[in-house]
Structure 1
Amino acid sequence: MANIQKLDPCASPLDYYGSELRRLREANSLKQGQLGDIIFCTGSLIGQIETTKKVPTRDFSERVDAALGTDGVFSRLIGLVLRSQLPTWFQPYAEMESRAAYISTYQAQLVYGLLQTGDYARALLGVEHPGKVDEVLAGRMERQRILARENPPALWVILSEAALLQEVGGRDVMRAQLARLLDFRDDPWVQIQVLPFSVGQHTGMMGSFTLLRFDDDPDLFYMENYDHGHMTANPQLIKERSVGYARLQATALSPEDSATLIARVMEERYEEQS
């Protein structure tokens, strides 16, 4: 007799997803292999997702909804599942980020997460999460969906020149990442500025930080250290950082000149190898 693993749907969003997948599959009188045949995957993968050994994807969820006639249950649930794969200390920020109407961020060393390519993000996450890169990467890519929604937040990103020069994942990965930044030149909701080394001392030298503004809630200030984040609605701190950010905007290259610099670095530093 097969040893059926018991599931606790209250343990986590992933456990709930797995238990619902098993329950609704069985309600349709389908074995794992049969459902796998319908949605073009293996029965083994179905079993691994049901027992939380694998994290489902959005494409998988959509195919399951279609196969089981679940009216979008799994397509709605997958966002919560993928967000739960982010580091626990980061999840509160990701939740607030997804609700923000306006995001302004200064990044001292790396490309902001909402603008990262999958390969760039994978290289970064492989350093801190070598055992679960796919899961954490899925959570990071899920964050980026807010830029594609009907009413996206306004996003203003100031990148230190260091973010263009710090090689992550190799030359090809960096070239693709800088090309990705250039893709936003015609996006009315995304503005990217580069803060060149030549400006000298500036108001962002204590590190990366982000300001979130909302339609109906107080503004938030966020910054993070090695393994934890700090988020506050302290009005005085937000006032000081907002002024500091305005100074960074005034000091940085214009969006047009920033795109020119990004393109030049992409060609000169990360040119394609013959």
Structure 2
Amino acid sequence: MRPSLPLQPTHRWGFGAFLLVEGVLLATAALLGALLGRGSLDAMPVRDVLIGTMAPTIIAALVALAITSIRGNGPAADLRLSWRWDDVVVGLKFGALGLVCTVTGVWIWTRVVGEDNATSAIGALVEDKPMSVSAAVAMFVYLWLLGPICEEVIFRGLLWGAAERLGWGSERWGRFAAFVLSTAVFAVSHLEPLRTSLLLVIAVPIGLARLVTGRLLGSIVAHQLNNFLPALAILLTALGVLAD
């Protein structure tokens, strides 16, 4: 049963805030792509790969946090972002479920689309591109820990809060609508049409952690645990330990 939550002060931001943050993310990615991607992908320096991968999501998440401070009550109140060990435990449970779903989904999906089409966008960036240990570790830490925090702030924080604010007729339906909408938008916003169905499978356990706890930490932990194996695989591939 979902725990009861203390009443939170109403924030003054909504879907416009999320659209602004998405616009910042896409504009930053496009700008960096224009500045850094002047040559072929194979010739792109590792430094540019790291910047192009990390910067758009980090900047967008910082804008989201700023919006909650300027137009709301701050990220702790508006995004339900607080430290609770029971949320960590719930996040680990749903993260473990997510790993099972991800491994199973990837196995099925790879056989449907074929090995040649199974590489993610980030995987394609590091494919056949040996990295220094420091660069590979930086990529690993981002994919495993920092990236999930930023994405959860944007999707299960800002977008969830915007959907929940509408109410949709009742508090219960508002939470369910926020879960469905954030799960769908999370999958689509990665702009990888072939992988959208797989991303939906991955996103459901993460969203459930947010739904069950009512706070953001559970989904952050679930997302981080779910990302661990893919991030580790990319780390070992970038270091040349695993064959592509």
Shorter-chain TM range is under 0.3
Q: TM-score, normalised by structure 1?
A: 0.21
TM-score (normalised: structure 2): 0.23
- Quick check: which has more Rg, 1 or 2? 1
Specify which structure has the higher proportion of strand. 1
Between Structure 1 and Structure 2, the one with more helix by share is 2
Q: Relative contact order (alpha carbons < 8 A, sep ≥ 6): 1 or 2 greater? A: 2
